[in-house]
A and B are shown apart, each in its own frame.
Chain A
Amino acid sequence: MLVAFNRFGLGARPGDRDRAAHDPRGYLKAELRQPDIALISLDDPTYASLPGSTPAIQASMAANFQRKLDRERMAAATAQPAMASAQATPAQATSAQIAPAHPLPPPTAPAKPAPPIEATLFRAEAQARLDKAFRAEAGFVERLVYFWSNHFCVSVAKDNIVRASAGAFEREAIRPFVLGRFADMLMTVERHPAMLFYLDNQQSIGPDSRAGKNRRRGLNENLAREIMELHTLGVGSGYTQADVTSFARILTGWTMAGREGRLGEPGSSVFNANAHEPGDAVLLGKTYPAAGMGQAEAALNDIASHPATAQHIATELARHFIADDPPPAAVARLAKVFAKSDGNLRALAATLIDMPEAWSTPLAKMRSPFDYIAAIRRAAGPGPANDPGQSLNWLNALGEPLWQPPGPNGFSDHADSWASAEGMKIRLDIAWQAARQVKDVGNPNDMLDAVIGPSASPETRQAVARAESKQQGLALLLMAPEFQRR
């Protein structure tokens, strides 16, 4: 049962265990049959105000422009420095229009300036993700969302455009495809403005393109390399530096329309033929004829179904859901399903649930920080309403700031990264803080039965039973190996 809730899910809420008890596999698979289960529905009034990436980026661009004007005005008006800062900026007005779910303080309280629009959007998206984690049944599909979101990660540390659109990126490029085709997710991810910005492709210009000849600018290899190394084939799978450079040429022109809208609707993903390197290109031994943006689409489609991609994705999935060093037979089976099903991610997810290895391998991995926090909320009750601040702070403290991995390879998926000395100390602090927040803790022994059940070790039972207070008992439960491991 811990396998269903820890290894595959987001942890049991009180009552969940009863529903899963008779058939844990069926309980997990039921999620796979629900259409649109991964989506954050904008029909839900709670989320209705979340803008798509295009309006989000537009708001950020407008705010950026305004900030620039303000800075210039400030610099020009050094004689009266107090004036500029006392005015409310139009950037703040924009933020109020775009995110009514998080109204700004009334104008009568001007002491605290409104947060930048990018921060407002980020927090609204974070809240939606946390809510979804809390509401999910088993949470297996949410776990798949986090897996793919980390696989195709972007970082809000890059710049304001990514900060404004990282949540929308996950909703638009990851969630619709987690039970769909890998190639569709890949195609959507790589042309999403957040990814184009994060991995610098909007800056990459074909040297022999019209734009490349006019301006002193040229290729940027970043996106091409990381697509092959991280998103698809995997490092050491045989591609060369020449393949990276060639793929970078193929990808030129995949960009985002700027604020002036010369290439299309500002903030939307567009193909800029003027920046695209003309001519045929050879990649992995195959010639891709000149075809504008179709050239990269053809290349991405081939890469998506390459055997090295199947192997790479199978290894990552097995590492995530089974063990740091996954059983080779499990990896081989997943790779086979990937190849046979044309990268059908629903089939891969079902294969994982059916694998005996997934149920027999000891729970030696650690819950990632986000999963740990989700599990705490699900066990002990939701966090402060409409304020993701505490959860975000916890994530920062645990070294997994939301949508802000240290590099394009995402956060670590190895147990020892999260079972670190500092990490465990912080988990202890968080468990205590969470336990103290619960208004009516109830009997921690009942909580243990509801959340962990018969899988609890005698030692854990005893530790919780002997706690000196209800809060301490709950904190012990939240720190128990049965709560940490997966």
Chain B
Amino acid sequence: MSLLCETPHPSRRAVLMTGGALFAWAYLPRFARAADNRDPRLIVIVLRGALDGLSAVGPIGDPDYAGLHGDIALSLAGPHAALPLDGFFAVNPAMPVFARLFKDKQAAVVHAAATGYRERSHFDGQDVLESGFAGPGHVATGWLNRALESLPAGDRVATLGGLAVGPSTPLVIRGAAPVLGWAPQSLPPPAGDLAERVLDLYQHRDPVLAVALQKGLDADRMALDDQIGGNTTKPKSGAMKPKGGLGSAAGMRQAAQGAAKLIAADDGPRVAALAFDGWDTHVNEGGATGRLATLLGGLDGAFEEFEKGLGERWKDTAIVAITEFGRTAQINGSVGTDHGTGTVVLLAGGAIKGGRVIADWPGLKPAQLYEQRDLAPTSDVRAVLKGLLADQFGLSAAVLADKVFPESAAVKPMRDLVA
């Protein structure tokens, strides 16, 4: 967006101030809150590149773990001791926020999880993960968008649409339901009514671009700093360039910070998708410290920013971090890991019934590994996502099995993920 900044402070008031036909958000009715005052939100973080689940949440109680994961295996001893979750699993020490939330029963782990995809191509794997289809080749719409679309007409969550964070829209939230786009950026915004004129031209000549630009402008207005009575076309003083992309620790934190403000707004989107890159750790992956730990620290920072930024809305929020597949159980020839299968799903948020590692642990003996190389999947990522959508937004198992995750009737929603 044009104004920000290290510390986005989006404000509803700035949106209302702008007025005019340009900013459709200004016309959305403020909804009446439900009687129980519950106002659920779902944030999906896609970790692109395949997260090593065994280094994020290590099965330190498994006798074969240390041997397979070698120098990068997590351990409860030493200067960078992993943070124990229960007697068997420990989280990477780069994630103290997640460990604290777990202790407070606001975070959970599903281990040995995978989608239905069993090959090892990142790009097909990501397409399957994000499209929600049973196999690759579907790149038009994502399951999160279809979930919004499947809500009853007039449903508050559906009306408010989704939020896509980053310069391009992650597949998981692409589709027919309305999606706002936002990314931390800084360029001086145009003066005068250029935006309005371009929109007008698009409405006559290129409706697709009209919709896209309109949403981009809307999100931008929403994320503006408090500038009551001020000139909203002027950048905030000290506007900063983004601190690295969404593959850097600072970038993840910054993206979460801005997204939290948009999602926390009373009439902001209730679902959001973020994609963080860089998890493809073939070389010198590191364990408790190093490359992967730095990225995990960024993810942990994102959790923290969401917790802070969502304020009282945190209690109704579920965040789920998912990745296309896991990595080899045994480290490769360059102290990294190659493409694998089973990995973790990380859950956080006040809405999560936390404090649990949910796993039907398959074991790490050679015969127990998938194709004798990867952590065998015993949970389906789709079951987790279905459970969250059912618990947060009341989507039925039938709709989830048909429209949201096509051909997935055999994958039952995982229940009671939400408190």
Contacts and interface: CB of A to CB of B under 8 A. Distances in A.
Interface string B22-62: 00000000000000000000000000110000000000000
Nearest to B123: A409
B198 interface: yes
A236 B164 contact: no
Interface stretch (A12-20, A137-145, A327-335, A398-406): A398-406
A423 B168 contact: yes
Interface stretch (A266-274, A376-384, A476-484): A476-484
Contact of A430 (B187, B212, B242, B336): B187
Given A236-B136, A406-B247, A468-B192, A420 B48 contact: no
A468 B212 contact: no
A245 B180 CA distance: 43
A285 B208 CA distance: 48
A457 B203 CA distance: 13
B197 A220 contact: no
A229 B126 CA distance: 14
Given A407-B122, A463-B200, A421 B333 contact: no
Interface in A370-417: 393-394, 396-399, 401, 404, 406-409, 412, 414, 416-417
A469 B190 CA distance: 13
Interface string B197-221: 1101110111011001111111110
Interface stretch (B106-114, B275-283, B299-307): B275-283
Nearest to A432: B190
B280 A420 contact: no
B209 A481 contact: yes
Nearest to B338: A221
A421 B192 contact: no
A386 to B, nearest CB: 21
B209 to A, nearest CB: 6
B188 interface: yes
Contacts of A71: none
Contact of A457 (B48, B205, B209): B205
Contact of A425 (B1, B186, B193, B208): B1
Interface string A182-226: 000000000000000000100111010000100001111110010
Given A421-B179, A424-B216, A205 B194 contact: no
A468 B193 CA distance: 9
Nearest to B190: A432
A65 to B, nearest CB: 18
Interface residues of A, number: 66
Q: Would you call the interface of chain A mostly helix, strand, loop, or mixed?
A: helix
B366 interface: no
A460 B197 contact: no
B212 to A, nearest CB: 4
A235 interface: yes
A220 B205 CA distance: 51
Sort chain B's interface into a size bin.
35 or more
Nearest to B278: A157
Given A420-B168, A422-B167, A472-B197, A212 B213 contact: no
Contacts of B124: 235-236
Contacts of A424: 209, 212-213, 216
B212 A423 contact: yes
A475 interface: yes
A428 B181 contact: no
B363 interface: no
Contacts of A475: 190, 194, 198
Contacts of B356: none
Interface of A: 157, 200, 203-205, 207, 212, 217-222, 225, 229-230, 235-236, 241, 244, 393-394, 396-399, 401, 404, 406-409, 412, 414, 416-426, 428-433, 457, 459-460, 463, 467-469, 472, 475-476, 479-481, 484-485
23 contacts: A218-B334, A222-B338, A225-B339, A235-B121, A235-B124, A236-B119, A393-B241, A401-B245, A406-B245, A407-B48, A416-B174, A417-B169, A421-B212, A421-B219, A424-B213, A426-B183, A429-B188, A429-B190, A433-B187, A463-B198, A463-B200, A468-B192, A476-B194
Given A220-B336, A229-B123, A398-B167, 18 more contacts: A200-B336, A218-B332, A220-B332, A221-B282, A235-B136, A397-B185, A406-B245, A412-B168, A419-B208, A421-B213, A422-B167, A423-B212, A426-B183, A428-B194, A428-B195, A432-B194, A463-B200, A472-B194
Q: Which 5 A-B pairs have the closest CB atoms?
A: A399-B167, A218-B333, A421-B181, A425-B216, A203-B334
